[in-house]
Structure 1
Amino acid sequence: MEYRHKTSPSPRKFKVVASARKVLFTIFWDMEGVVHKEFLEQGQTVNSERYISTLRALKLRLRRVRRDKDSILQHDNARPHTSRQTQDALRQLELTTLPHFVYRPDLAPSDYYLFPNSRST
């Protein structure tokens, strides 16, 4: 509601424009660069099954590009990452994980390494 005088013109209504297509981009990287990346198909959501599929693809990629190195994965505490199915898959794939602390903007490395032009000066 808004306060208007009887002779006031009616408020203008702006047209709602559909936003641009949103895309979810999943990326894994290490000190040497990007290891694996995927785009989520339109209309898909990330659930345990989808995340496990991504982890399997990551493991195959790691075997090809980082043969002689140990792999340690750090992911947040989103439901697909912490589900029992995902935890079982991580053990089966022999991917070691590091705990992820409560969200802290100062611990988001992607802000600094993946998008260097967005750094504040």
Structure 2
Amino acid sequence: MTWKHPSSPVTKNFKVQQSATKVMATVFWDSRGMILLDILPKGESVNADQFCETLDRLRHAVRRKRPGLLRSGVVLQHDNATPHTAKHTKERLGRYRWDIIPHPAHTPNHAPSDFHLFGPLKFEDEDELTGEVRDWFSKLVGNFFTQDIYSLLPQWQKCTALHGNYIEK
């Protein structure tokens, strides 16, 4: 309830329209290239159970494409989204014995996929998204992935020096 004076202007209510349904892709990659492209069906959203299923697919993809990686150790970087930090997800990652790089809040420059992949790509449907992402990854030059991963080190050093506060690129 809003209290107002009788001579106050009438409040105008805006018609709310549902936003366009988005297609979501989760991409896992290492210094050699893409390991897994996981497409979420249109209209669905990520929750901890769905993310754990994606982690299962990632584990199988790593086993198939990078067999030595499971023996040497997987280091996973993801943001602090609720599905990533949920108890169920943490238990799954603990069972896999994967190391997690903590992701400080408000540091988009610590998520390479956000500024290298998803910035330039826009798509309308799942088929277009899959084709565009696979095409984009196939065109990247040999040391792109290695350079991108190693570029995180100075960013982490800056973030540590600022005690986790936001840093510019």
Identical columns (%): 38
- Aligned residues: CA RMSD: 2.5
SS in 1 for 2:68: coil
Looking at both structures, which has the greater relative contact order when contacts are Cα pairs under 8 Å and sequence separation is at least 6?
A: 2
Counterpart-to-counterpart distance in 2, 1:90 and 1:31: 21
What is the aligned residue count? 105
TM-score (structure 2 length as normaliser): 0.54
**Shift in Å, 1:28:** 0.6
Aligned to 1:11: none
Aligned to 1:101: 104
Counterpart-to-counterpart distance in 1, 2:18 and 2:111: 30
Moved over 3 A (4+): 17-21, 115-118
Aligned to 1:5: none
**Shift in Å, 1:111:** 4.7
Aligned to 2:58: 58
**Shift in Å, 1:57:** 0.4
Is the contact made by 1:56 and 1:93 (CA closer than 8 Å) also made in structure 2? no
- Cα–Cα, structure 1 residues 18 and 87, in superposed 2: closer, same or farther, change >3 Å? closer
SS in 1 for 2:46: coil
**Shift in Å, 1:100:** 0.8
Is the contact made by 1:52 and 1:86 (CA closer than 8 Å) also made in structure 2? yes
**Shift in Å, 1:112:** 5.2
Is the contact made by 1:71 and 1:95 (CA closer than 8 Å) also made in structure 2? yes
Counterpart-to-counterpart distance in 2, 1:43 and 1:116: 21
- Cα–Cα, structure 1 residues 112 and 66, in superposed 2: closer, same or farther, change >3 Å? same
- Cα–Cα, structure 1 residues 63 and 90, in superposed 2: closer, same or farther, change >3 Å? same
Aligned to 1:7: none
